[in-house]
């Protein structure tokens, strides 16, 4: 394990990620802050420094797999090891301004699938060497109780599109990925879990949906920090949590064939293996 613990928190210039990055820095982690907005990222780094913490900001738009690769490559060059990866970056059912139509990523994939799921899938696989060097290390995928089963013949939702379905299937994909990766990492000193931090937190994403918040970002951050840092979860892996408690995800999350099929498709879509043209079949 590295002498100073290091954490990467994606989507950490606002909302849950921002609070988590601040709390981790307060607890002595050297934190890598991620987001698309340079001003917000650099402002957070200065605020963390003013409180005696240490953080650096690295910009990337996770709607582009090329930017995800560049982000991971930069981190691998900078990091001796990585103790904690929190995959928190994501977009909600509606775009800023309330638009709800189908959108594509820079790579031509359905945008919520690309940002909420594929970006974290690629980033995690690229950062695994650094995580293993820090073992015992942890990965937390910030998911949701809002889950919609994957139709493998329509992953890009060219049919029957809705923003909520797109969001919910991306969140279930995170859970399938969590369970599959946890099994692969079982003897490698890296744990991975998925978390629904809290329901309808008072975040920009929830406000964009015109939904009345039911919980606070602070409550979600407490659940996230507990799973990411609490000693009692040092060996916990391959679990889905609702707040502080273990929970059941959608039934498809436990289907080994679905997990393996999703992994194979995701490897091709992200370029971890060749022949992306056949990926969505």
Helices (H), the chain: 15-26, 38-50, 65-78, 111-112, 119-133, 163-184, 204-208, 217-229, 256-270
Dihedral, CA atoms, 202, 57, 10, 70, nearest 10 degrees?
150
Q: What is the mean pLDDT of residues 12-19?
A: 95
Report residue 216's pLDDT band, with 50, 70 and 90 as the boundaries: confident
Yes or no: say if 95 and 148 are a contact pair by the CB < 8 Å rule.
no
pLDDT digits 0-9 by tens, 111-144? 999 999 999 999 999 999 999 999 999 999 999 9
pLDDT digits 0-9 by tens, 54-111? 999 999 999 999 999 999 999 999 999 999 999 999 999 886 544 568 999 999 999 9
Give residue 32's pLDDT. 98
Q: How far is CA 112 from CA 3, 138, 165, 222, in A?
A: 37, 25, 10, 26
**Which residues, at least 6 apart from 4, have a Cβ–Cβ distance to it below 8 Å?**
28, 29, 30, 54
Mean pLDDT value across the chain = 92
164 has a pLDDT exceeding 80: yes
Out of 29, 117, 167, 254, which one is annotated catalytic? 167
CA 64 – CA 107 distance, rounded (Å) = 6
Give residue 273's pLDDT. 79
Domain annotation covers residue 1: no
Domain annotation covers residue 112: yes
149 has a pLDDT exceeding 70: yes
Give residue 125's pLDDT. 98
CA 171 – CA 247 distance, rounded (Å) = 15
Give residue 275's pLDDT. 47
**Helix axes 256-270 and 119-133, enclosed angle (nearest 10):** 90
Give residue 94's pLDDT. 81
CATH value at residue 272: 3.40.50.720
Give residue 206's pLDDT. 58
Yes or no: say if 60 and 34 are a contact pair by the CB < 8 Å rule.
yes
Domain annotation covers residue 103: yes
Q: How many domains does the chain have?
A: 1
pLDDT digits 0-9 by tens, 221-255? 999 999 999 999 999 999 999 999 999 999 999 99
281 has a pLDDT exceeding 80: no
Give residue 209's pLDDT. 62
Nearest residue to 149 via CA among 163, 165, 169, 167: 169
Domain annotation covers residue 59: yes
Q: What is the mean pLDDT of residues 188-208?
A: 80
| Strands 245-246 and 54-59, sheet pairing | unpaired
Tokens of 207: 């406000």
10 Å Cβ neighbour count for 101?
Answer: 9
210 has a pLDDT exceeding 70: no
| Strands 137-142 and 190-196, sheet pairing | parallel
pTM of the model: 0.92
> Containing domain of residue 99, as a range?
6-278
pLDDT digits 0-9 by tens, 21-61? 999 999 999 999 999 999 999 999 999 999 999 999 999 99
Yes or no: say if 215 and 200 are a contact pair by the CB < 8 Å rule.
yes
CA 234 – CA 60 distance, rounded (Å) = 30
Give residue 280's pLDDT. 44
CA 132 – CA 173 distance, rounded (Å) = 23
Report residue 274's pLDDT band, with 50, 70 and 90 as the boundaries: low
Q: What is the mean pLDDT of residues 169-184?
A: 98
| Strands 30-35 and 6-9, sheet pairing | parallel
* 29 is known as an active-site residue: no
């Amino acid at each position: 394990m590295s002498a100073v613990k290091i954490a990467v928190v994606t989507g950490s210039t606002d909302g849950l990620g921002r609070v988590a990055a601040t709390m981790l820095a307060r607890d002595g982690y050297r934190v890598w802050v991620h987001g698309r907005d340079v001003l917000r990222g650099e402002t957070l780094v200065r605020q963390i420094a003013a409180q005696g913490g240490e953080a650096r900001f690295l910009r990337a738009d996770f709607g582009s797999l090329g930017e995800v690769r560049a982000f991971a490559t930069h981190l691998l060059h900078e990091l001796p090891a990585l103790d904690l990866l929190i995959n928190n970056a994501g977009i909600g059912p509606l775009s800023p301004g309330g638009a709800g139509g189908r959108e594509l990523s820079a790579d031509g994939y359905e945008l919520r699938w690309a940002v909420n799921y594929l970006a974290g899938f690629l980033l995690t696989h690229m950062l695994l060497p650094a995580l293993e060097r820090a073992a015992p290390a942890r990965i937390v995928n910030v998911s949701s109780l809002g889950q919609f089963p994957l139709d493998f013949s329509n992953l890009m939702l060219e049919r029957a599109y809705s923003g909520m379905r797109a969001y919910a299937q991306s969140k279930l994909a995170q859970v399938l990925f969590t369970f599959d990766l946890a099994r692969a990492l079982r003897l490698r000193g890296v744990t991975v879990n998925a978390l629904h931090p809290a329901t309808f937190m008072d975040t920009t994403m929830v406000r964009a949906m015109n939904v009345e918040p039911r919980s606070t970002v602070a409550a979600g951050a407490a659940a996230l920090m507990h799973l990411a840092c609490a000693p009692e979860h040092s060996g916990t892996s391959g679990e889905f949590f609702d707040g502080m408690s273990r929970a059941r995800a959608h039934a498809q999350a436990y289907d080994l064939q679905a997990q393996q099929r999703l992994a194979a498709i995701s490897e091709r879509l992200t370029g971890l293996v060749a022949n992306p043209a056949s990926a969505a079949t």
